[in-house]
Structure 1
């Protein structure tokens, strides 16, 4: 079971912030072998969706109201720890993020920037690709939109 918590940047405690940065670095920098600036100054504007398994952070996203990242509401930094991916936590954390955008910002249109190889995962959640593929941090991405 995944325990979901939604927190503003200011509400995060030091351990939670450390765990978020550790998980994002573990997957996006080390596992994907991608050197990039993860701490981009946008965490302060985001709401953070944390997924805990037995008190350990195993899944995470950050969500933004319209205008704080993209013109549309958005979800980013979607991550599940490597050893936790077989438990459906990706779908659970994404659904919690979609629900949080709807409940907190009354948003029905959501934009994500998906790595191309995982776009089928997002399609199952109702996202549709828009536009052409592009490189972000030397990884192929595609914009995707979900509308209700």
Structure 2
């Protein structure tokens, strides 16, 4: 998988997020003001956009978010590849990354070295948890 970094919300990232978060999972408010400030990664399999995530700085911390892989491309480690690529960029600026995970997939992030911090909270009726990982420079 090839990844491309954009400093704007690229149409490929937008389409993947609509498919995964809105069509598949039923979220209504998928896009927010953070999209204007974030960097967006898009993963391509044979020139076809299949995965995305964004990362951004907020209150002196770096966050990864909106990790999405098209349904037919799951179980190929593309989500993990997107996280690792975002961590590579973040590690140039910080020694820790944060993310907000849906509780149902926290095990995926734990396998990547993330740890829970704080309490479970609700986002559009879906339980989420804040997680963090110490990065190597």
Q: Could you state the TM-score of these two structures normalised by the residue count of structure 2?
A: 0.92
Quote the residue 1:107 is aligned against.
Answer: 94
Alignment of 1:85-100 (within 5 A): 85-100=74-89
User: Per-residue deviation at 1:146?
Assistant: 0.7
Quote the residue 1:53 is aligned against.
Answer: 45
Quote the residue 1:73 is aligned against.
Answer: 62
Distance (whole Å) between structure 1 residues aligned to residue 131 and residue 75 of structure 2: 24
Q: 1:27 and 2:20 equivalent?
A: yes
Distance (whole Å) between structure 1 residues aligned to residue 38 and residue 78 of structure 2: 21
Unaligned runs of 5+ in 2: none
Three-state SS of the structure 2 residue aligned to 1:86 is: coil
- The runs of 4+ residues in structure 1 deviating greater than 3 Å are none
Unaligned runs of 5+ in 1: none
Say whether the 8 Å CA contact 1:3–1:53 is kept in structure 2. yes
Quote the residue 1:62 is aligned against.
Answer: 54
| Coordinate RMSD, CA, aligned | 1.3
Q: Which has the higher strand share?
A: 2
User: Per-residue deviation at 1:125?
Assistant: 1.1
User: Per-residue deviation at 1:131?
Assistant: 1.3
Q: Could you state the TM-score of these two structures normalised by the residue count of structure 1?
A: 0.86
Say whether the 8 Å CA contact 1:64–1:74 is kept in structure 2. yes
Distance (whole Å) between structure 2 residues aligned to residue 85 and residue 24 of structure 1: 14
Say whether the 8 Å CA contact 1:65–1:101 is kept in structure 2. no
User: Per-residue deviation at 1:18?
Assistant: 2.2
Aligned length: 135
